[in-house]
Structure 1
Amino acid sequence: MAGIIAGVLVLALVVVTGVVVWKLNNNVHRVDVSMALGTDRPTQGAAAPNESKPLNILVLGSDTRKNLDDTSTFGPDTVEGGDHSDTNVLVHISADRKAVLAVSIPRDSMVPAPKDCKAETPKSQWVVRQWNYNYNKGGAGCTIRTLEGNTGVFVDHYAVVNFEGFQSMVDALGGIEVCTPVAIDDPASGLDLTPGRHVLDGSSALGYVRARKTLGDGSDINRIKRQQAFMSSVVQKAVSTEMLKRPDKLYSFLNAATKSLTTDPDLGLTEMATVAKSLQDVGAENIQFVTVPTTVYQPDPNRVQWTDDADLIWEAIRGDHAIGAAPTASPSPTGTESPAALTVTPDKIAVQVLNGSGVRGLATQAVEALQVQGFRQVTRGDAPAQTTGVLVEYSPMQEDAARTVAAAFPGAVMRQASSLGNTVVVTLGVGAPDVVEVSNRLGTQPLPTPSISSSPTSSSSPSTSGTTSPSPSPSISTRSADENICS
C-alpha cells in the first residue's frame, strides 16, 4: 500500500523515457474482475484518471507466500490455503486533486458479503463474513463488491501487492526508518528491536508491519496504526530529493513496485502517471490516513464490526468532502453546462422513503414535501440501520425516474438495485438535506417549512446553507503523511 502511494507520487516528479515506460508497464499483471461485480453497483464514480472527478482506488496487500525466498518466518501458506487481503486500504483522491484520503479497513471486520462471492446473489441473501476472507473466496472482485454493497462507494480501480513486492520496494528505497516506543521481541515475525528509531530492510519491514500478537493488545487495529506510520515514512522518503537524484534507485523502486502489482485492465503505468501528474502539488500534509471505527463483534470477541460512525467516512467519500464537513456542489465539466433535464414527472413515480437517521418524523416531513410537488405514490418506513446522507436506489429500468427523485435531495447518492421493481427507494440518514423543488414539479403550492433536522445538535457546526452537518466523531482520527513517525 505504501509503495503504491509512493510510486504514484514519485512518478509525478520525474520524466520517464518511452522505453522505460514500456518495460515498467509490461511488469504489471492485469486481471479483469468486472464479471464479479454485479449489476447493482453505485452509479457515482466510474472516473477516468484524467477526468476532473473523484477517484477511488482499492489497494490490497495479499498475504501469499508465493515466490518468497524465506517462508520460515511467515509459514508456507495460510491455514485455509490461498491468499487473504492482509491489508485493505481505500484511497480516495479528490476531484480537485488537492487531497488524498487513505481509509484502512480492519481485516477482522465482520460485514455482510455475497454468499459464495457470486455476482448475481442479491443483498437479501448475503451472509456475514470476515473481511479478508472475501479475497480468499473470490479475489479482488468479491472484495470490491462487498465494499460497494456496504458503503455505496464506487471503486474505480484496484491494485494488489504481495509480500515479495513489499520487501523489494523497501529494499529498493534503501530501507525505511521506523520508530517504536517500546521494545519489540516478536518470534513470529523475527523482530528484535529496542525502543527508538531503526532503519529496516525489506524482510524486517515486512515483519514490522505484520507483527501483532506480541504488541499491545495484539489487535489488528494497533497494527494498522503502525502500518500508517510506516506508510508516512515511505512517502516521505520516496519523494525526497535524495532519492530523485539517484536514477538507479528510482528505477529500482519503480521496477519493484510494478513487478509486484496486479491491477484492473484500465490501471497501467500510463494511467498511474496521469494520476501522479495531477497530484504533483498535493503535498504530504494533504495525504490523510484514517481507520474505519469498530467495536467488538459480540458473537466472537476476537472479531470487530463497524460502528455507525463509519458512515461519516463513506458519506465523505461519496460527497467528495472532508469527514464531517458539509458537501459542496460539484461543478459541471465546463463550468457552464446545466444538469441533464429530468424526463419523468413526479406523478409517474412510485417512491418509498425510509428513515435511517434515528430522528423521528424525518421521513414523514420528506414525504409531505414530495407530495406537494406531485409525487402521489409515496410511502414511508424505517431503514434497518442508521445511515448517513441520502441514498436513492432503483432498478435499471427506473434510472430516469430515480434522477427526478434524487434531484429533490441535494448531494444524494444513486445506486442500482435490481430487486426493487418499479419503486424508487430513498434512505434518509444523518445529515440528510431538506427536500428541495425539482425542475419538473407539478403544481405551485410552496414546500412546507422544515421543522425537523437530521443533524445531531450536540456535534454539529453551521454550514453555508444555514443547516447543520455532522462533525467527525471522536472515534475517528486522521494522520497526515508529513507527521513525525514517532508521534
Structure 2
Amino acid sequence: MTDVLVGADPGPWGPNVRGGRRWRLLRRLSTVLGVAVLVAGTGMGTTGVLLLRQAEASLTRVEVPQLTTAEEPSDARHFLLVGSDSRDGLSDEQRARLTLGQFDGQRSDTVIYVSISEDRSAVSLVSLPRDLLVNDGNQQRKLTETYAGGPDRLVSVLQDNFGLPVNHYAEVSLGGFLGVVDTLGSVELCLDEPLRDRKSGADFTAGCHDMEPEQALSYVRSRQGAFGDYERIARQQQFLKGMLRELTDAQVLTDVPRLFRLVDEVGRNVTTDDNLGLAEMRAVAQEMRQVVDAGVPMVTVPAFPRNIDGIEFMVAYRPGTEAMFDRLRQGVPLLDAGTRDQRVEVDVAVVSGGRMTGAGIVGSVLQFVGFPVVAAGNGGSQLDAGPTTTIYQLPGHEDQAEWVASFLGAPIRNLPPGVSAPVGAEVLVAVGDDAAA
C-alpha cells in the first residue's frame, strides 16, 4: 500500500489544516443495543413487555432539548449512541489491571449514529471518529471534547456541523460494557492470527476464544496491526457482532431469569433522553432485529488525518460525508460499502489529473476505510475529471466500484474507450477539483 501524505483546505466543512500523521479512532463499542435486541428476540409477549418496563425503570433520564422531533410515525428514526470513557464506579485496582489510566471526567469515547430508514428496510450504523474535527461555537475541537458540555452540546455540534437530525440519545458507561459481558459469561471471537498488545493487555493466540469481560475489553481497545487504529474499529465491529449473536442465542432467550439480569445490567449503566419511552423502545426493538439478521452493517465517516498546531485530528472528507449524510437525512439506506475484509482485497488506482493535493486527500480517505491504494500518475486528458471526482468501474468489478463510491460520494462511469486501467487495479478513481474544495 502506498503511504499518502496530504495538506489541504477541507472547505466549508472545516478550517484550514496542514501536515499529516496518523489517525486515531474509536476505543470501544456501545452495548446499548443489547436491550432492544434482547426484547426483539423474545417477541412482544408478556416477557418482552416486562423486560421493556424493567429497562425503562432502570434507565437514567436526561433532558436533551436539542433533539429533533419526528413529525410522522412513518418518518425515518435517528439515534445517537455514545460510549462514555468515564471511569466512575471502577476501583483503582480495576483501572490499573485494565490499563485505563487515571483520567477523570467524561469524553465521548465511541459515537455511533443509527438511522432506521423511512421504509424500515434498513438500519444504518455510522461510526464517527472521536478525533473528528468540528466547529464548536467559535472554537475548533475534537468531537470527543464537545461531550464535556453534556449530551445536548454533542447533539448540537453534530446538527450545526453536519445537519444530522437526532431524535433520541443514549449513552453507555464502561461499567455497562464490562457488566453485559460478565452476565453473558463470555463472548466468542475467532482470530485469524495471534494478537499481542502490551498497551491494551491483549494476548490471544490464533483461533476461537470465549472472551470474559477483561479479555473482551483488551481486545476491542487494541490498535495492534498494520493499519493501527483502523484495526481497532474492525475489532469493535467483530465484537459487536459476537455480542449480538450471544444476546440472541436460544439459550439466552429462553433463560428468563438471565434475561432480566441482562436487562438490569444494561439498564443500570445506560442514560437516555427523557422522551425515549416504552412505545419507542418497542419500535426500536423490532427494527433492531434487522441489524442482527443483516450482520450489523457498519461504516465509518470518510475522513483523513491532519495535524493542527501539534494536535491530531480527523477531517471529514466533504464530498463523501455530504453524500452519506444526505442519504441518512432523506431516510434512505446507505450505498453498499462492502465489509472491511472485502475492501482490503480491492486495489484502487488513483489518477491525479495534476491535482496532487486532492489526490493525496482521496488516497488517505480510501486508506482510512481500508482500500489498498496505488498511485497511477496524471491519467492524461481522457481521464481528467474536471470539477467532480469520478469513479471508473472495470468489467466484473461493478460492486467494488459502488463500495468506493459509498465513501467518496462520486459518480460511477465506464472507462472511456481506448483507456486501460493499471495492471491489477479493480477500480480507478480520477481526482477532480472537489477533492480539495
Match of 1:91 among 96, 114, 138: 114
- Once the two structures are superposed, residues 425-449 of structure 1 have per-residue CA deviations (whole angstroms, 9 ceiling, x without a partner) of xxxxxxxxxxxxxxxxxxxxxxxxx
Report the residue type matching 2:143 in the other structure: W
Give ranges in structure 2 of 5+ residues lacking alignment. Answer: 1-28, 337-386, 394-400, 409-437
Aligned to 1:373: none
Aligned to 2:329: 318
Contact 2:55 2:267 in 1 (8 A): yes
Give ranges in structure 1 of 5+ residues lacking alignment. Answer: 115-124, 326-453, 461-469, 478-487
Residue 7 of structure 1 deviates from its aligned partner by 2.3
Which structure features the higher share of helix residues? 2
Aligned to 2:39: 11
Report the residue type matching 2:217 in the other structure: L
1:147-158 mapped onto 2 (5 Å cutoff): 147-158=158-169
Residue 248 of structure 1 deviates from its aligned partner by 2.3
- Once the two structures are superposed, residues 197-240 of structure 1 have per-residue CA deviations (whole angstroms, 9 ceiling, x without a partner) of 2111122212211222x443432x32112111111112222122
Aligned to 2:267: 258
Residue 301 of structure 1 deviates from its aligned partner by 7.4
Q: Distance in 2 between matches of 1:457 and 1:215?
A: 31
- Once the two structures are superposed, residues 385-413 of structure 1 have per-residue CA deviations (whole angstroms, 9 ceiling, x without a partner) of xxxxxxxxxxxxxxxxxxxxxxxxxxxxx
Aligned to 1:27: 58
Does 2:147 align with 1:216? no
Aligned to 1:267: 276
Residue 269 of structure 1 deviates from its aligned partner by 4.6
Report the residue type matching 1:7 in the other structure: V
Residue 256 of structure 1 deviates from its aligned partner by 1.2
Q: Distance in 1 between matches of 2:331 and 2:259?
A: 32
For 1:185, what is the secondary structure of its paired residue? strand
Q: Distance in 2 between matches of 1:102 and 1:280?
A: 14
Match of 2:315 among 284, 305, 308: 305
Aligned to 1:171: 182
Task: Tell me the C-alpha RMSD between the 2 structures.
Answer: 2.9
Aligned to 1:365: none
Aligned to 1:130: 142
Aligned to 2:95: 71
Question: TM-score normalized by structure 1?
Answer: 0.59
Q: Distance in 1 between matches of 2:39 and 2:388?
A: 42
**Identity within the alignment, %:** 29
Residue 142 of structure 1 deviates from its aligned partner by 1.5
Aligned to 2:123: 100
Residue 138 of structure 1 deviates from its aligned partner by 0.6
Aligned to 2:364: none
Q: Distance in 1 between matches of 2:119 and 2:332?
A: 11
Structure of greater Rg: 1
Does 2:255 align with 1:246? yes
Q: Distance in 2 between matches of 1:84 and 1:260?
A: 16
Residue 77 of structure 1 deviates from its aligned partner by 3.2
Q: Distance in 1 between matches of 2:248 and 2:118?
A: 22
Residue 476 of structure 1 deviates from its aligned partner by 3.2
Q: Distance in 2 between matches of 1:272 and 1:180?
A: 34
Residue 152 of structure 1 deviates from its aligned partner by 1.1
Residue 74 of structure 1 deviates from its aligned partner by 3.3
Q: Distance in 2 between matches of 1:281 and 1:211?
A: 29
Question: Would the alpha carbon gap of residues 459 and 313 (structure 1) be closer, same or farther in structure 2, given more than 3 Å must change?
Answer: farther
Q: Distance in 2 between matches of 1:71 and 1:106?
A: 24
Contact 1:312 1:323 in 2 (8 A): no
- Once the two structures are superposed, residues 29-51 of structure 1 have per-residue CA deviations (whole angstroms, 9 ceiling, x without a partner) of 011121xx3xxx8xxx6228x91
Contact 2:193 2:205 in 1 (8 A): yes
Q: Distance in 2 between matches of 1:193 and 1:82?
A: 32
For 1:177, what is the secondary structure of its paired residue? strand
Looking at both structures, which has the greater relative contact order when contacts are Cα pairs under 8 Å and sequence separation is at least 6? 2
1:386-397 mapped onto 2 (5 Å cutoff): none
The size of the alignment, in residue pairs, is 316
Residue 101 of structure 1 deviates from its aligned partner by 0.6
Question: Would the alpha carbon gap of residues 20 and 277 (structure 1) be closer, same or farther in structure 2, given more than 3 Å must change?
Answer: closer
Q: Distance in 1 between matches of 2:190 and 2:322?
A: 32
Residue 318 of structure 1 deviates from its aligned partner by 0.8
Contact 1:236 1:284 in 2 (8 A): no
Residue 280 of structure 1 deviates from its aligned partner by 4.5
Q: Distance in 2 between matches of 1:27 and 1:106?
A: 29
Larger mean Cα displacement after TM superposition, 277-286 or 53-62: 277-286
Q: Distance in 2 between matches of 1:204 and 1:275?
A: 30
Aligned to 1:328: none
Question: Would the alpha carbon gap of residues 22 and 210 (structure 1) be closer, same or farther in structure 2, given more than 3 Å must change?
Answer: same
Aligned to 1:464: none
Q: Distance in 1 between matches of 2:312 and 2:389?
A: 32
Question: Would the alpha carbon gap of residues 321 and 167 (structure 1) be closer, same or farther in structure 2, given more than 3 Å must change?
Answer: same
Question: Would the alpha carbon gap of residues 134 and 97 (structure 1) be closer, same or farther in structure 2, given more than 3 Å must change?
Answer: same
1:220-235 mapped onto 2 (5 Å cutoff): 221-235=230-244
Question: TM-score normalized by structure 2?
Answer: 0.65
